[in-house]
Structure 1
Amino acid sequence: MPRDPRPASDVSAATGLVGLAGLFGWLLVCRNWAAIAILLDLPGPREPLSGPFAALAAMLFSGLPMVLWAVLVDRVHRRPSTGIAWDRPRPLAAIVDITITKIAGLWATWALIGFTYCIARWYWEGQYVFAMEVIGAAAVPLFALSIPYVLWLDRVLVEPRDGAWHFGAMLVGREPFDPEQVRAHGRTWLVKGFFCAFMISILPPGWATITTLDLGEIGPDPVAWTRWLTELLFLIDVQIAMVGYLVTLKPLDAQIRSANPHLAAWVAALMCYPPFILMSGGGPLDYHFGTADWAYWFEGRTALLWVWGTVLVGLTAIYAWATVAFGLRFSNLTYRGVLTNGPYRWCRHPAYLSKNLFWWLSTLPFLVTTGNPNDAVRDTVVLGLVSAVYYWRARTEEKHLLAEDAKYRAYHAWMERNPTITRALGRLVGAATPRRGTVQPAE
């Protein structure tokens, strides 16, 4: 027994792994669909299932195993943090009025999100069009199924008057409501509305690439293998993350307990995603002017290409592992429990660290094809600013979590006491900045 045990994680390591197994199973079926269809004499195309709806189905094959494991093995539905008392259901008549008010709040929230989709032109261009089609098709079933679901859940919730109820009460005007609960409800659904549309929009391209690529054509090319493997790992990240954004259900203890209340956190996060992204081509933080990637600079040096490619794949694997470790609970700008296993055993922000290292090693911004040293300096400084944005994101996220949960404060303190990457980086940053006293975590 270690003398300084690591705080327990709210998500078991197995949850994400069974989801990953389900995703790989479906991926193998889709890649080999032509052979399967011929063997079983099935109607339809004799080609890989590479379309957008196969990419959507992948969420079922990755999400369902995670749900089953969480309920049947981890028994997350029995945790006090769900806010559910299964053994003390209320009579239906006792909660009908509460449920009606809550459904009014939910439906009004969804209507506002839908209105935003309608008036924001970027949702009707490029990859976002598919996301709008999916959300539009899901709208009617979502509205209809919300009625029996909320009625069922309100019977067993310890406190059924949640943020949706307070928003509904504000709209109906018959009962007093808490404005802070309304604001918290709005932040939660702003996260879901913004990121669900984005995540759905990026599912199909990666899926099509991975399901159709002929591995036999890659041969002994280290660059091709590196790009295929990183594409596969990014696919894993996107698929598991998408499940996390959708399955925010209290019976699974995967609800959004709070969305980040700090404006700085929202600014830091949104500048990394379209339509607000600053790092895209021609943007203020575009660090690619005159650059060529690692394969260009190391061309002809086969051994170095294999080594460099392996490092890039390893960094991407850490990035994907950081998402898989969340299981059903991945989401930006939210608190959904404390994660202390997987790569979070060694670093509080493994995804940000690995992603930024990948950008530095794959782009090599200090090498430019223009021959202009100003371009090299500019690209290097700008990529440094991009990394600073992610450092800012990490700090704002920690500010949120430290205020929310004593368990996260214990994890944060444990990371500071033990030899971890986070502690080493903290010492490095601290040595480069003036010391202004030590802030102790709140008890």
Structure 2
Amino acid sequence: MPASAARQWINLTALAVVLLTLVALKAAQWADPLKGLLILLVAMALPIIGLEAWCTRHSGAGAVGPQARRRDDPDRPARVAIKLVGLLATYAAIGFAYWLLPLYRDGQAVVLITFVQMIAPPAVLVAPLYVWVADRRLGEPRDGCYMAGLAALGRWPEVNRDILRQYALGWLVKAFFLPIMIASAHEDLRWFLALDIGGFLRGYDFGWYEFAYRFLYFIEVFWAAAGYLMTLRLVGGHIRSAEPTLLGWVVCLACYAPFWGLLSRSYFAYDAGYPWGLWLADAPVVKHVWGVAILLLLAVYAWSTIAFGIRFSNLTHRGILTNGPYRWTKHPAYISKNLTWWLIAVPFAAQGGTAEALRQCLMLLGVNAIYFMRARTEERHLARDPDYRAYAAWIAEHGLFARARRLLAEMLGRRMAVGSPAEVREVSFVPSRRREG
């Protein structure tokens, strides 16, 4: 198994700290979800950054590669100043877009802007020191931030446009997704802090399911928000590359607001309003098993995000994961998420007869197809990295689906043995080596 960019024990340690912090906030009757979100981010970041730095230092390699520290570099002060100009220009461009576009000005970015205003004073003080230290550690210090600074200063002949393009795409990803994730995490934390958990569990027949369902989504979206906030080069959480194809961007952005609202209403409205709880109302045992199955799949989905540590991000390459749920398949989040939609929507049991059930199933299959395209475009992007190619080859031989195919072949071989012993000997000694998916 190729090495993973993130260590599971570190991420699970951070998860334990976050859960303990949530318990403490609840016990203290904390009422400010925005400051509570900041506390949770610190509770997550400190163990990950601290333990990652400790592991990196003891492994003998720098956080951004085995590059030597350059102590004597007379160009560093000027270069760092240009990077700070580039960083300021980047923030100004994003802020202008949020101010200009009604989607962000009046809705999606309100929580993020308030959050940024809260953390701005310490961030402004820390930024020059961070850029200085990061510049010192880089093998090639003339990075995207430096190119953005040159462009902002009008020094276009010196700009490497490929580096600047990747830098701009990476920040475009953050600018699009961060308002969505921060707003969702803020709203979920507000719900959690205000909820009477005991009363909720006692007051509803399926309160345990309703609480666990939203809480798992809260943990997942909080972890994703943290990933977009902390693209830290010093601990290897920086963006290596952004999705290079238009198709990759289209199929990804289609799954998020505001685009998904249009698609789900007009093209993929697969939920006919027949909830699975009502469908199984007369079978309480099956209903509980069904609910547990949904929650287990959601737990895998949340784990798939937690496994990234501070590296989670759509449309970017920030290191190859090979452990956690990614030890079993290349796309555990997509598989588990799409399966939950089938269990929740039960389109195969839609009211209105066979034709309506078939129509609902086809629309949900359309949603599944979008995620299939997301998986394929991500694979093409990540396959530029030899580490991912090695990982994909390992999964093709040892992944969950490869093992399932081999097991199925063995079972079929045993059944064939009843009529022909020679056939089973042939099957037994020629193992399947088909690739996954």
Common fold by TM > 0.5: yes
Aligned counterparts, 1:55-74, within 5 A: 55-74=37-56
Match of 2:401 in 1: 421
Change (3 A) 1:255 1:79: farther
2:297 aligned partner, one-letter code: L
8 Å CA contact 1:255–1:336 kept in 2: the answer is: yes
Question: What residue is the counterpart of 1:433 in the other structure?
Answer: none
Residue by residue, what CA displacement relative to the aligned partner does 1:63-110 show, whole Å, maximum 9, x if unpaired? 21111211124548953560574643234x431221222222221111
Unaligned runs of 5+ in 1: 1-5, 34-46, 429-439
Pairing 1:26–2:7 present: no
Per the TM alignment, residue 360 of structure 1 is displaced from its structure 2 partner at its CA by 0.6
Which residue in the other structure is 1:226 paired with?
A: 209
Shift of 1:408: 0.8
Q: What residue number does 2:252 align with?
A: 269
Change (3 A) 1:126 1:236: same
Letter paired with 2:75 = A
> Cα gap change, 1:374/1:315 in structure 2, threshold over 3 Å: closer, same or farther?
same
1:83–1:250 CA contact under 8 A, matched in 2: no
**1-side partners of 2:106 and 2:20: how far apart?**
32
Q: Which deviates more from structure 2 when the two are superposed, residues 290-299 or residues 187-196?
A: 290-299
Kept after mapping to 1: 8 A contact 2:244/2:381: yes
Quote the residue 1:98 is aligned against.
79
Partner SS for 1:155: helix
Query: 1:281-292, aligned counterparts within 5 Å?
Result: 282-288=265-271, 290-292=272-274
Q: Quote the Cα distance in structure 2 between the aligned partners of 1:224 and 1:155.
A: 53
- Larger CA deviation: 248-257 vs 307-316: 248-257
Deviations 1:267-301 (A, max 9, x none): 0110011112257762422222x322211111132
Structure 1 residues 76, 271: CA separation in 2 closer, same or farther (over 3 Å shift)?
farther
Deviation per residue, 1:276-328 (Å, 9 max, x gap): 2257762422222x322211111132111110011011000100111111112
How many Å apart are 1:111 and its aligned residue? 1.1
TM-score (norm 2): 0.86
The Cα RMSD (Å) is 2.8
For residues 344 and 367 of structure 2, what CA distance do their matches in structure 1 show? 15
Are 2:239 and 1:239 equivalent residues in the alignment? no
Q: Which residue of 2 aligns with 1:202?
A: 184
Q: Alignment partner of 1:272: what SS?
A: coil
CA contact (8 A) 2:69 2:136 kept: no
Post-superposition offset of 1:247: 1.5
1:409 corresponds to which residue? Answer: 389
| Alpha-carbon distance between aligned partners in 1 of 2:166 and 2:103, rounded to the nearest angstrom | 26
Kindly provide the CA deviation profile for residues 255-278 of structure 1, in whole angstroms up to 9, marking residues without a partner as x.
Answer: 111111111111011001111225
SS class of match (1:332):
coil
Q: Assess, with a 3 A threshold, how the Cα gap between structure 1 residues 78 and 337 changes in structure 2: closer, same or farther.
A: farther
Per the alignment, in what secondary structure is the counterpart of residue 88 of structure 1?
A: coil
What aligned pairs does 1:348-427 form with structure 2 within 5 A after superposition? 348-369=330-351, 371=352, 373-403=354-384, 405-421=385-401
Equivalences for residues 281-320 of structure 1 within 5 A: 282-288=265-271, 290-320=272-302
* CA distance in structure 1 between the partners assigned to 2:366 and 2:123 by the alignment: 41
Q: Does 1:164 align with 2:145?
A: yes
| Structure-2 residue corresponding to 1:337 | 319
| Cα separation, partners in 2 of 1:74 and 1:324, compared to 1, 3 Å | farther
SS in 1 for 2:217: helix
Q: Give the corresponding residue for 2:97.
A: 116
Contact 2:68 2:139 in 1 (8 A): no
Of 208, 214, 231, the residue aligned with 1:248 is 231
Q: How many residues align?
A: 409
User: In the alignment, which residue of structure 2 is the partner of 1:432?
Assistant: none
Q: Does the 8 Å CA contact 1:50/1:207 hold for their aligned counterparts?
A: no
Asked if the contact 1:347–1:422 (Cα under 8 Å) also holds between the matched residues in 2, the reply is: no
CA contact 1:166–1:177 (8 Å) conserved in 2 = yes
Give yes or no for the alignment of 1:187 onto 2:193.
no
Q: TM-score, with normalisation over the residues of structure 1? A: 0.85
Higher percent of residues as helix: 2
**What is the CA–CA distance in structure 2 between the aligned matches of 1:94 and 1:78, rounded to whole Å?**
27
Can you list the C-alpha shifts for 1:130-160, whole angstroms capped at 9, x where unaligned? 2222234445654553223223332332211
The answer on whether the counterparts of 2:329 and 2:399 sit within 8 Å (CA) in structure 1 is no
Matched residues in 1 for 2:375 and 2:403: separation? 14
Aligned partner of 2:34 in structure 1 is: 52
| Cα distance in 2 for residues equivalent to 1:388 and 1:101 | 44
Contact 2:56-2:63 within 8 A present in 1 as well: no
- Structure 2 Cα separation of the partners of residues 132 and 372 of structure 1: 49
Q: 1:67 to 1:136 in 2, by over 3 A?
A: same
- 8 Å CA contact 1:85, 1:156 repeated in 2: yes
Identity of aligned residues (%): 36
5+ residue gaps, structure 2 = 409-434
More moved, 202-211 vs 354-363: 202-211
